[in-house]
Structure 1
Amino acid sequence: MAPAITLAAETELSAANTGFMLICSALVMLMTPGLAFFYGGMVRVKSTLNMLMMSFISLGIVTILWVLYGFSMAFGTDSGSIIGWNSDWVGLSDIGLTELWDGYTVPIFVFMVFQLMFAIITPALISGALADRVKFSAWALFVALWATVVYFPVAHWVWGAGGWAFELGVIDFAGGTAVHINAGAAALGVILVIGKRVGFKKDPMRPHSLPLVMLGAGLLWFGWFGFNAGSWLGNDDGVGALMFVNTQVATAAAMLSWLIYEKIRHGAFTTLGAASGAVAGLVAITPSGGAVSPLGAIAVGVVAGLLCAVAVGLKYKFGYDDSLDVVGVHLVGGIIGSLLVGLLATGKGQSEVEGLFYGGGLEQFWKQCAGVGAVLAYSLIASALLAFVLDKTIGMRVSEDDEVAGIDQAEHAETAYDFSGAGGGAARTAAPAPVADTASKKVDA
């Protein structure tokens, strides 16, 4: 999130910036259903609905927690550079309609709801690593606990006034550390606790609907413009426009980089590779896009596309079952984008900070390393502990029989596709049963 801008003493509400931010908030909200489709297409048929629901439930749980206390914890008055709190914001009960976010021309309510959408999608990102095997009730409880214990404090560290990373000068324009490294490290921590899917590395676990994957990736790409450009909280000085351009440029470069690697390594350009490469580019440019030039954005995208493509294969080498490559894309992509700020920052974007390649030395790089390392370690450990406690109390995993038969039916009593009533050519042309005969049969029965 952008650091505060110094404005004139008489700051007034800007209708243009307020409208812009509301649109951006809606775009970020759309990313969570987009993520649901992206993940839902990547799993097998028997897990489709569960995967969709693991994202959608975050819209419900995190929204309520954010209103009750999450916004206050993340952006309230700092305490010890670790957490925030403002009792006036509990339940959003004492905020004026036109009360402005400090230093900006948008209302507190607008900033609050924009940040809410970030808080919603971050735990939803974790779900992709846990496909096929987690009880829905346990997942819902994990989302509530994780948001409270991990996301709200980390958001304060990175973006809250007084947060230690914010004060140190760690640059995270829109969530490389607070969102993507946070979620990726959490995913790794949880899967190390709950273990592998039945049949991992033995049974084929191919995506059941690549069109759904592409639809989800397209929605994510579209919504990400609000995610990134909106994080400047206005549109007055061109930085948001730079971020918009860099978002498109890095995503395109990462998609191409992933596809080239895939063609060389595996001999084909796949749709899954195109979608995954695009998401890798979106992840990597998120922390860095306000600090680098468009040429720098190309570099960010190329590096992210290549290294994330390599990273997704590590789960087979090291034996951790990251079902939908959350670690390989979000953790690795977030690290790449965050660290490249220290090398590629031009000093002509969101701040005057220059990276190593622009004469700024390694000072910013080490700051980025501190932010990356702290968020990664805290999220990994805290998430693993939460998963361990839940697993030992209510149990995190469905039974092996339910996992094999299909988690959709076991957890939701539904299936994603019901072909029994769809009919083929013969069924569609067959004459319907006469009404009278049907009625008589019912009477006879």
Structure 2
Amino acid sequence: MKLLIVDDEKSIRLSLKINMKKLGIDVFTAESGEEGLDIVRKKMPNIAIVDIKLPGISGIDVLKEIKQIKPSCIVIMITYLSDVKLAVKAMKMGAYDYFTKPFSLSEISRSIEETLEYAKTKIEIDKGSRDNQVKFIGQSPEIVKIKENIKEIASMKYNTCILLEGESGSGKEVIAKSIQSIKGDTIPFISINCAAIPKTLQESELFGYEKGAFSDAKNAKEGLIERANNGVLFLDEIGDMDISLQAKMLRVLQEKKFRRIGGLEEMDFKATILSATNKDLKEEIEAGNFRKDLYFRLNIIPIYIPPLRKRREDIIPLVQHFIENYNNVLNKNIESISKEVVDIFKSYLWPGNIRELKNVIERIMIFKKDNKITLEDVPKEILEDDSIEENHHYNLELVEENAIKKALDKNNWNITRTSEELGVSRITLRRKIEKYNLKNIKSDNFCN
């Protein structure tokens, strides 16, 4: 297991590193977001502890980049009390948890121990769920139409260019793998995330190189384009491809030929090109970040995947799919979810789209003991989200009551810590406790 600590305060980095090493894991530290992301690319840590306020790029941006480079990395944010709202925003973007400064080293060590168990389970989940990744779930008219289109495209013995556009986590990679699956599992499927590879290395990754092409080229290397020949090449986050490399990629698409770096031999290239982006490429063209001619070449068949909030009828089928998957992987027996949870899931905006929904179900099921998902299992950042509106069927007061109860139990009914976590005053919290007649079953007295 590998853990990364990103914090500009040397004392925090050092104390966390000493304590984390006691858990028997490899620990890496960085004092800036840029340095931290460089370590992520090289070491691919399982867990990252990231301060929200960093010099240079912010902790929120670091979280976003980590989730692009290694989506399975578990990210824990640390922040001062005044920045708790940012921490909640981070949770919605995929952070696993957050701690407020000053924090207890023993408390964070216990949390990391639990997170390590979660990370180990997650590795097994990722291994066990690979067979389910090509299932494209959805019954909304938009998704039904996309299914029909990709089936027709993939069934043709013809290589073309397909541009997948949609928000992060909306299912672009699943569509790409669905196309490859229909074409035949025996053909190569080669994927590159342009956002996860430094722009200086993108060309050598794609085109490969001959021995002696540059100082570090001790041996010849086959590039991803070469490996994808007669198969599918998936260019994920194409909007982050280096502008100078775009011209070379355009030549490959037009002439169906390429050369390794430092090579003289031209090689043939025949493959279906799938490109995906969550950026508006037309805006990128206007800004001078993307070539117009490459855009038209990639956009022969455009497919737009709507965000999950625009196709709410797909939410519960996806939930059922993930439950079935994790029942098999985790040897669980979850049979149902309560109506309140169904209503909340349908009302929540899911800014992280399908990826966020999948992560929420995964987290719930890892710790779930009985066979029904209820309101108390739903993460607090969803229960407290502003997108859950009053005109839906569930009782908002019930949501608030459960959120307060969970926070009180988590903090052992310490009023000060609970009010800080919930972002309300002590007086407001006491009024809410009286309003809902909440009781501490462990003690008759509040601990302040």
| Higher RCO (C-alpha under 8 Å, 6+ residues apart) | 1
Q: TM-score, structure 1 length as denominator?
A: 0.25
User: Could you say which structure has the higher helix fraction?
Assistant: 1
Q: TM-score, structure 2 length as denominator?
A: 0.25
